[in-house]
Homo-oligomer: A and B are copies of this chain.
Amino acid sequence: MAEGQTRDRIIGAARHLFSQKGFNGATTAEIAGKAEVAEGTIYTYFSSKKALLMECVSPLLEEMLNDFEEHIPESDSFRGLAVFSVEMRLRLYEKHHETIRIMLNELPYSAEMVDLFVSFLQKQSQEVARYLAKAEKMEQIVRSRNYWLFGLGHVMSLWFYVNFMKMKEETGLNLDYPFINISEEHLAADLADYFLYGIMGRPKKE
């Protein structure tokens, strides 16, 4: 068997099950079954179920945080930057969907997860700060006292959108509530506008 393949199969199975059922909900027996290894094999690679959980999250979160650096926006209209940023974030959340879901679900029960989450927020906070700095040069903006909370709402609604779509896929549940009216086509532009101009919308004349 190719090197590392078994370990990867276990991680893959565990990540999937943890993201769907939570840490307590997914049993080692299930994980072994899905990975097609014996239950004991898990402990050849991981010292405990908890350690396996962290290995499911930690390296990928690292990778995700690095992904931010690589995508430096190039547009020189600020609105263009904002749209770009939203699109990138949506792609990122989609790619690292399971990892983020696990992190958020286990947040209340694990101090280690809180650490990871803080670094997750911090990185995005830094990125938002870079955007704002650019915006300040380009246009007149108001950097509010509580702007990190704005960023949080922004980040969380993007995440919620991705997670919602995944849940529809996975569960097959009918989640098409009348008040949830998603227009995928204009999503990034709408969210960027919301981020920039709020519910009042873009002023007609500037």
Q: Is the CB of B194 within 8 A of A148?
A: no
Given A157-B156, A160-B156, A173-B114, A194:B144 Cβ within 8 A? yes
A5 at the interface (CB under 8 A from B): no
Q: Is the CB of B114 within 8 A of A179?
A: no
Q: Is the CB of B146 within 8 A of A183?
A: yes
A73 at the interface (CB under 8 A from B): no
Q: Which of A9-17, A46-54, A63-71, A120-128 lies at the binding interface?
A: A120-128
Interface residues of chain A: helix, strand, loop or mixed (majority): helix
Number of copies: 4
Contact-residue bracket for chain A: 35 or more
| Residue from B125, B146, B190 in contact with A190 in the complex, judged by beta carbons closer than 8 Å | B146
One digit per residue, 1 when the CB lies within 8 angstroms of any chain B CB and 0 when it does not, for chain A 141-160 equals: 11011111110111011001
Give the distance to chain B from A192, nearest Cβ to Cβ, in Å: 10
A132 at the interface (CB under 8 A from B): yes
Q: Kindly list chain B residues whose C-beta atoms are within 8 Å of the C-beta of A187.
A: 146, 149
